Every structure is written in C-alpha cells, then in structure tokens.
Amino acid sequence: NICTWCFLGYNMLIYYSALIGIPNDLYESARIDGASELRIAWSVKIPQIKSTIVMTVLFSVIGTLQLFNEPNILRTSAPDVINSSYTPNIYTYNLAFNGQNVNYAAAVSLVVGIIVMALVAVVTLSGVWAFWVRGQAESANAEAARLVAETKEWQAKHDVLARQMAEKRLPAALQNELE
C-alpha cells in the first residue's frame, strides 16, 4: 500500500525518539544479567515503548479510516481492486456525489466518527486502567513489604523471649504463661 510507505518514516521517527529516551542503565543491567540482544529487545525495549507503539497503531488506524486521495487516484489504474467502498471516505464520497444520497453519506460519516471516538476511548481507558492497576500493584507491594518487616520484628521479639526463657531469665509468672 502506498500509504504504508508514506507513513513508515513517520512511525520510525517516533519509535527512534522513544528508544533514545530509554535510560542506558536498563541496557547495562540486562547485559550484566546475561541477556542477549533479542532478550533485551523483548524484555526491556518493547515494554518501555509500549505506549508509543499503541499511539502509532492508533494513529495508523485513524489514518487508514481517513484514507481517500491515494485510492481515489489509483482507482483508474486498478478498478477491480479499488472499488467504490474501498475505504469509508471513498464510500461516503460515492454516496454523496455519485449516488446523490447525501443524507446516507452523512450518516456513514457520523458512524465512522463514532467508531474512531470509541476506538480512542477504549485505548485511552485501557491505558488509564493499566496505570491504575500498576498503582494498585505498587501499593500492594508496599503493603507486603510492610507486613514482612512487621513479621520480622515479631520474629525477633519471639527469638529474644525464647532465648530468655531458655536461660531462665524470665519472671516466673511470664515463664509459666509461656509454657
């Protein structure tokens, strides 16, 4: 597709700038851990630029739904491949100007707009949801760390009491209660 080649450079520029923003410390620590370049790409780079990938895919889908000029020009060269409903915009154009069905064309345009808005909302809300889940996981990890520290503190107190009991240094009332 001609648009794939037109916007490939645009997307690559966005990916390149996102990859430059990844701290070198992540690469170094992955290499120290013995990760191969493929493992670094899969486990470090892709997770770090996941939001960029989602953004470029979203822009590409919206751009595909807006596609009009290229297929309209190439339709004379390949009429069997590019028909009157090749893209939503060509379909709307043919309804409005070739079929004189302006009301139906307006309805199709409105539905395409609603589909794009729904797609953007789903992507946005999934990003917000992922951010919320990540925040919940971080707070759960903090709570778990607090509980581990509290358990270690109780274990230390228990060990002190057990040692004192073994050395018979506890008061008799407390020693009888523990036995």
Q: pTM score > 0.75 for this model?
A: no
Give the 3-state secondary structure percentages of the chain, helix then strand then coil, rounded to 5. 80, 0, 20
Nearest to 47 by CA among 130, 140, 150: 130
Distance CA 24, CA 40 (A): 12
Mean pLDDT value across the chain: 81
8 Å CB contact between 18 and 49: yes
Q: Which string of DSSP letters, residue by residue, matches 105-157?
A: HHHHHHHHHHHHHHHHHHHHHHHHHHHHHHHHHHHHHHHHHHHHHHHHHHHHH
- pLDDT > 70? residue 144: no
8 Å CB contact between 154 and 141: no
More confident site: 115 or 7: 115
Q: At what angle do helices 2-20 and 50-65 cross, to 10 degrees?
A: 160
Query: Which pLDDT does position 116 carry in this prediction?
Result: 87
Q: pLDDT band for 82, please (50, 70, 90 cuts).
A: confident
Amino acid letter, residue 36: S
pLDDT tens sequence across 91-106 = 999 999 988 899 999 9
- Residue 23 is given by DSSP the state -
Query: Which pLDDT does position 156 carry in this prediction?
Result: 82
Dihedral over Cα of 66, 72, 73, 75: its sign? positive
pLDDT tens sequence across 20-54 = 998 888 888 888 888 899 999 988 898 888 888 88
Q: pLDDT band for 137, please (50, 70, 90 cuts).
A: low
Amino acid letter, residue 85: S
8 Å CB contact between 42 and 67: no
Token representation of residue 81:
């491949």
Query: Which pLDDT does position 55 carry in this prediction?
Result: 84
